[in-house]
Amino acid sequence: MKRISCLMLDMGGVLTEDQRQDKVEEMRAVLGPRAAREAFSSAYWRHRLDYDRGLLDGLAYWGRIAAELGVALTSDEIGRAVRADLQSWFNMRPAMRDFVVGIKGKVRRLVLLSNIHADGARYLRDGEARPWAALFDELVLSCEHKLLKPEAEIYELALGAAGARPAETLFVDDNPDNVEGALRAGLSSFRFEGEEDFAARMARDYELAL
């Protein structure tokens, strides 16, 4: 059993549930009939890393998607798309919320490490997600540092923010590339494959410490 004093968790796909498809359909509806499912998905993900890195704001991101689909959006329509996008992701898994609440005071530092855009960062820091974001000691958000997982620098930055050593830190993410990046940076890490598997691995393999 490995002793861990710093626990870092990814957001999307770990703390929060998979993307809500009804909200994906809402985004497509804003864009209109040219936003066929495959074409929309391609445009949505093509520009996502620049959005999460903080190179694009919401206006520019949705402008690129609209241009790719041959659509012109008003500022009001972009606002609706941004809201639907946020609502599609920010749905915390009840079991993970219970876990985070339950380990408060049992681990020295609890860190949220997420690839996320500026609209999402505001939603976490000042919006509807603030109550559960406040459970974490540190929020390390990609757009605020122009860095993305699995780049080594973002893990180093997160360790520095937490005042933690790699050997005493565990990072959990649903993306295998991000897990590999953490391992290369010297952290312990495993892939999230559901709440039950996560709980079993934490109980079996790790001891949380102050």
Q: Give yes or no: residues 196 and 117 share one domain.
A: yes
Q: Give yes or no: residues 104 and 185 share one domain.
A: yes
> What is the per-residue pLDDT across 8-62, written as a single tens digit (0 to 9) for each?
999 999 999 999 999 999 999 999 999 999 999 999 999 999 999 999 999 999 9
> What element of type H or E holds 82?
helix 75-89
Can you tell me the distance from the alpha carbon of 153 to that of 145, in angstroms, rounded to the nearest whole number?
10
Q: Give yes or no: residues 99 and 48 share one domain.
A: no
Residue 53, phi-psi category: left (phi > 0), alpha (psi -120 to 50), beta (remainder):
alpha
Last residue of a domain, one of 73, 89, 105: 89
Residue 68 pLDDT: 96
Q: Provide the residue range defining the domain that includes 192.
A: 2-16+91-208
> What is the per-residue pLDDT across 64-123, written as a single tens digit (0 to 9) for each?
999 999 999 999 999 999 999 999 999 999 999 999 999 999 999 999 999 999 999 999
Last residue of a domain, one of 52, 72, 89: 89
Residue of 164, 177, 148 lying closest to 55 (CA atoms): 148
Can you tell me the distance from the alpha carbon of 113 to that of 9, in angstroms, rounded to the nearest whole number?
6
Q: Give yes or no: residues 106 and 72 share one domain.
A: no
CA torsion, ordered 140, 144, 150, 151, to nearest 10 deg: -120
Q: Give yes or no: residues 28 and 97 share one domain.
A: no
Q: What is the CATH number of the domain that holds 144?
A: 3.40.50.1000
Q: Give yes or no: residues 100 and 158 share one domain.
A: yes
Q: Give yes or no: residues 161 and 178 share one domain.
A: yes
Is the peptide bond preceding residue 176 cis, with omega within 30 degrees of 0?
Answer: no
Mean pLDDT of 121-135: 93
Q: Give yes or no: residues 169 and 193 share one domain.
A: yes
Q: How many domains is the chain built from?
A: 2
Last residue of a domain, one of 42, 64, 89: 89
> What is the per-residue pLDDT across 163-183, written as a single tens digit (0 to 9) for each?
999 999 999 999 999 999 999
